[in-house]
Amino acid sequence: MKGTVLAPGIILNADDQRFTYLQEDVKSVAKDGAAIVLKQGDEVDFIADGQTAKQIYLTKAKSMNLDLDNINFDIKSNDLSTIRTLGLAGSALPILGIIPFIGFIFFIAGFLCMLFAIFKLSDKVGSPTLKKNYILYLVVAVASTILISIGAITGALGFAGMGSGYANAGGTGAIFGVILGLAGVVGMIYAFFKEFQVYNELSNISGDKFFLYYFIGSVVGTITVFIIIGYILLIAAFVLQIIAWYRLQEVKTA
């Protein structure tokens, strides 16, 4: 018998009859051998046992159409729907950060949503590294940015002082600025490494390589941001991350 998944645990056949089912009755498996979790709109073939569906096989997965009615949100919940919604918001809101005057509000909101998404997903799958690596990435990235900024300003003032007749003080300032700048660069490289670990683990947990592709695109885009290709890569990376969070339907425990 053929039918369509109406909601988790419920299948509707062509005669508008409803059948309940358990996850253990789903026989279709993913590439890694794990049982597929059926989604609303998926088309299936099954054997009816009274009002219960048995021996269920996925025949056609629902195409990826954004359905806002199916995005449920509860900030206190660790269910995938909440995590998915937070991830989507965290991916999309920073894009609005380019809006003059109020853009920083969207950026901060997006940052907080992504932070909650990572923390909740880490707790859900029992990963001891996802949350830790994300915190390290954030702390080191911010600290490195500050070091680079201070180093650049100090170095510039030092070199300016050397040219104005204050050779000793200017030289000391220039050297100190260079040291700070180099420390910041080393720190930023480490931050990129921790970010790689975060998105590599997200790819492994979700089975979706788009998370890892986002990281690659964002890093290359950031490095090449001074030319037009950098902006294109950054936009593409953000789109990949949005798609990855939207497609998050099941996860592997750590």
Give the per-residue pLDDT at 34.
73
Q: Looking at mean pLDDT, say which of 77-81, 177-181, 228-232, 240-244 comes out highest.
A: 240-244
Residue count (the chain): 254
Q: Do 56 and 89 belong to one domain? A: no
Q: Do 90 and 173 belong to one domain? A: yes
Q: Do 22 and 117 belong to one domain? A: no
Give the per-residue pLDDT at 124.
87
Q: Do 90 and 180 belong to one domain? A: yes
Q: Does residue 74 sit within a domain? A: no
**Rounded distance between C-alpha atoms, residue 88 and residue 120, angstroms:** 14
Q: What is the pLDDT of residues 82-109, one digit of tens each?
A: 899 999 999 999 888 888 888 899 999 9
Q: 23-37, 127-141, 161-175, 234-248: lowest mean pLDDT where? A: 161-175
Domain count, the chain: 2
Degrees to nearest 5, angle at CA 129 with 127 and 132: 120
Q: What is the mean pLDDT of residues 229-234?
A: 91
Q: Does residue 102 sit within a domain? A: yes
Give the per-residue pLDDT at 76.
54
Instruction: Please tell me the pTM assigned to this model.
Output: 0.65
Identify the band that residue 175 occupies on the pLDDT scale cut at 50, 70 and 90: confident
Give the per-residue pLDDT at 81.
85
Q: Do 101 and 221 belong to one domain? A: yes
Give the per-residue pLDDT at 105.
94
Interhelix angle for 167-206 vs 130-163, to 10°? 160
Q: What is the mean pLDDT of residues 195-205?
A: 95
Q: Do 160 and 110 belong to one domain? A: yes
> For residues 117 and 110, is the Cβ–Cβ distance under 8 A?
no
Higher pLDDT residue, 4 or 159? Answer: 4
For residue 216, the number of C-alpha atoms closer than 13 Å in the C-beta half-sphere is: 8
Q: Do 125 and 188 belong to one domain? A: yes
Q: Does residue 131 sit within a domain? A: yes
Identify the band that residue 177 occupies on the pLDDT scale cut at 50, 70 and 90: confident
38: helix, strand or coil: coil
Domain range holding 54? 2-60
Q: What is the mean pLDDT of residues 157-171?
A: 68
Q: 22-31, 38-47, 70-79, 237-246: lowest mean pLDDT where? A: 70-79
Contacts for 238 with CB less than 8 Å, ≥ 6 apart: 91, 92, 94, 95, 214, 218
Q: Do 28 and 121 belong to one domain? A: no
Identify the band that residue 174 occupies on the pLDDT scale cut at 50, 70 and 90: confident
- DSSP letter (8 states) at residue 67: -
Higher pLDDT residue, 20 or 37? Answer: 20
Identify the band that residue 225 occupies on the pLDDT scale cut at 50, 70 and 90: confident
Q: Do 124 and 85 belong to one domain? A: yes
CATH number of the domain within which 39 lies: 2.40.50
Q: Do 120 and 178 belong to one domain? A: yes
Query: What is each CA distance from 205 to 112, 143, 153, 213, 226, in whole angstroms?
Result: 21, 29, 42, 15, 34
Q: Do 55 and 90 belong to one domain? A: no
Cα 67 to the center of its chain, rounded Å: 19
